[in-house]
Chain A
Amino acid sequence: MFHWGRLLAVAVARRRFGRARRPGAGREALVGYGFVFLPMAVFVLFFIYPMLYAVYISRYNWGILGPLERVGWKNYTSLYHDTLFRRAIKNTLEYTVWVVPAQMALGLLMAVVVNQRIRFRTFFRGAFYFPSLASSAAITAIAIYLLNIDGLINKIFGLNIAWFYDTRTALPAITALNAWTTAGTMMLFYLAALQAIPTDVYEAAAIDGAGPWRTFWKVTFPLLKPGHFFVAVVSIIGAMKVFDQNYIVSKGTGGPDYSTYSIVLDIYNTAIKDAQLGLAAAMGVVLFVVIFVLTILQWAFFGRQEAA
């Protein structure tokens, strides 16, 4: 992780105590610009510019062919009264509240397990990470198959539920699916955090006669605090962006009855299906602000740590 404050300090210091000109510096500078030109062009054109452009678009009533009229902040105020957007926020928050603890608990459990001195730990680590590699489309297709009314899950548990067609179960099913597939990534973050804990604390705990259960709750868990925070923020940011699974299980509608309609799905449908680019851009800006605040929080707490 990089630290903005320190980079800034370095930049300022460089300027103040700048080196004397060396021979060949001009040529080196030219080559430097040449080397970074293409990547910088991509970043400016497709990242920096779109960010500003999104704010610009959001201040217009903007149709498929271009800007229709300047409406100021009206898109933002109308979002506040937009029942569908509110529904999307409610769904996304509900999803986040469940998926984040599930991912964290599962990720931590797996990390602790593969951090033990056991045989085949490389195999188990690989196996636990496996669902995290699969593409969202493939994993969602598998979920659709397993959770269909004649599917394996119903068969095993003797149920008769059309999971993705029932307003009560569609979002929880997506939650479970994503907890399962993302836990492997969380496991890797937790592993890094676990390996940063010095072994002598464990030795001290062992000398004090603490068993494995007690050692975990009294020593490991509290010492993982920075790890918990990091994983939580990464997990929350990821959850706020949920889209692919909701789109695929509902054929893009967010159904049944908008029960899987997420914020990003609303952005997508408003922009692409309804061609209301101004309104969709405003939603994107709102989501960005939320994510930005979370990112800043993360950096404020993790600035000094180089971990992950």
Chain B
Amino acid sequence: MASENEPIKPPPLAALDEFLAGEEVAVGSEVPAGIPGRATSERVQKIIAYIALTLIAALFFVPFLWSLSTSLKPLPETANFSLLPHTWTLAGYREVWTKFDFARYMGNSALLAGTITFSSVFLASLGGYAFARLRFPGRNILFFLVLGTLMIPDQLRLVPIYRMLTFFPVTHWNLVDTYQGYWAIKMVSASALFLMRQYFLTIPRDLEEAAKLDGAGFFKTFWRVMLPLAGPALAAVAILEFQGTWNDFFWANLILQSPPHWTVQVGVAQFSFQYGTLWNDLMAATMIALAPVVIVYLFFQRYFVAGVASAGVKG
């Protein structure tokens, strides 16, 4: 093992650095004012720029804030156009949570997103490590296949996957409307594996060599040496997979057909189909569907950026 007293720092995530580079610009460094009137004109220019920025930001936030405010109003008040509720109430949340079963949908979403994030991080790092470090015949061919899967759009897979899940090859299971069916197709993604492999390639080899000299096996080297060093990439993959699964509508809508299995996204869509004008309830449902991803984003913004940059090819 590497010596205990010098801390091993994980190598930086390339895509992350790319975006963080230039972040530490000397903000607000003044242009030397020599020409009369220049300072004021520049100040005016700057103020205009900030006003424009704030307006764009407002344009992006107002729909969310308006929806948030509606979710806190009693139903009759949703007809009024006041930004803040006159009577603040959580009635909308209470109703969707209990009467319209969103507790159940949230539970399903949490279960699926949690398990799939975990399995994807584990399998992608295991596979990514093997493709980055272990030598075995046919490795390049297999890696070609992994990259190839990135090119297959979900929309082409819709029909065959649906057929496979209704009548699974060999075993003849019917996996439509089961968690198992959803798990099966979502367990691990090629973009996650690709991201992990690229990251493992950037970790210096000497650490593994040291572990090997200490007699650690392949799995132990992977588990005790490589994984702890892969923190940033693991976080990026975990966040990418969590967001992808939590937000997924396409597959959840196709596979999880009956209300007890609905995820919160399917629940929101179905609620708008059936109770379209219960605006406070619909917006409350929407807010709880948004909340987990927003919270994760607030804390781990940089990893979102890295994930999109590395795996944005996914489409």
A interface list, Cβ under 8 A from B: 1-2, 4, 7, 10-11, 14, 25, 28-33, 35-36, 38-40, 42-44, 46-51, 53-54, 57, 62, 66, 110, 113, 115-119, 122, 124, 126-131, 133-138, 140-146, 148, 150, 152, 155, 180, 185, 188-189, 191-192, 195, 234, 237-238, 241, 243-244, 247-248, 251, 263-264, 267-268, 271-272, 277, 280-281, 284-285, 287-288, 291-292, 295, 308
Contacts and interface: CB of A to CB of B under 8 A. Distances in A.
Given A7-B144, A135-B293, A195-B21, A281 B159 contact: yes
A287 B155 contact: yes
A267 B155 contact: yes
Given A48-B148, A141-B272, A272 B123 contact: no
B64 A1 contact: no
A127 B57 contact: yes
A43 B146 contact: yes
A291 B315 CA distance: 11
A127 B62 CA distance: 11
A280 B64 contact: no
B120 to A, nearest CB: 9
A47 B190 contact: yes
Contact of A133 (B130, B153, B297): B297
A127 B56 CA distance: 9
19 contacts: A4-B147, A11-B144, A29-B137, A43-B149, A46-B161, A48-B152, A50-B152, A51-B160, A57-B160, A133-B297, A138-B286, A143-B63, A145-B70, A267-B155, A267-B159, A271-B159, A281-B159, A284-B157, A284-B158
Contacts of B61: 127, 130
A277 B153 contact: no
A272 B254 contact: yes
Interface stretch (B32-40, B85-93, B203-211, B304-312): B304-312
A191 to B, nearest CB: 7
A40 B67 contact: no
B140 to A, nearest CB: 4
A241 B269 contact: no
A280 B160 CA distance: 10
Interface in B192-223: 193-194, 218-219, 222
Contacts of B29: 117
B253 interface: yes
Interface string B274-294: 001101001101100110011
Contacts of B72: none
B142 A40 contact: yes
Contacts of B269: 137, 140-141, 247-248
Contacts of A188: 19, 305, 308-309, 312
Given A113-B56, A136-B249, A35 B127 contact: yes
A152 B124 CA distance: 45
B155 A53 contact: no
B111 to A, nearest CB: 17
Interface string B139-174: 111111111110111111111111110010000000
Nearest to A122: B23
**Category for how many chain B residues contact A:** 35 or more
Residue among B26, B79, B143 with most chain A CB within 10 A: B143
Given A51-B157, A134-B290, 8 more contacts: A39-B124, A39-B193, A50-B157, A53-B164, A138-B286, A188-B305, A241-B154, A241-B155
A191 B149 contact: no
B257 to A, nearest CB: 9
Nearest to B305: A188
Contacts of B247: 133-137
Contacts of A185: 308, 312
A54 B163 CA distance: 10
Contacts, number: 287
A237 B152 CA distance: 12
A146 B63 contact: yes
**A contacts with B: majority SS:** helix
Given A135-B246, A135-B289, A38 B136 contact: no
Nearest to B149: A47
A124 B134 contact: no
Contacts of B178: none
A185 B279 CA distance: 29
A145 B287 CA distance: 13
B156 A288 contact: yes
A128 B149 CA distance: 31
B136 A33 contact: yes
Contact of A126 (B142, B290, B301): B301
A25 B49 CA distance: 62
A35 B126 contact: yes
Residue among B162, B249, B277 with most chain A CB within 10 A: B249
B134 A152 contact: no
Given A53-B164, A54-B159, A150-B79, A133 B293 contact: yes
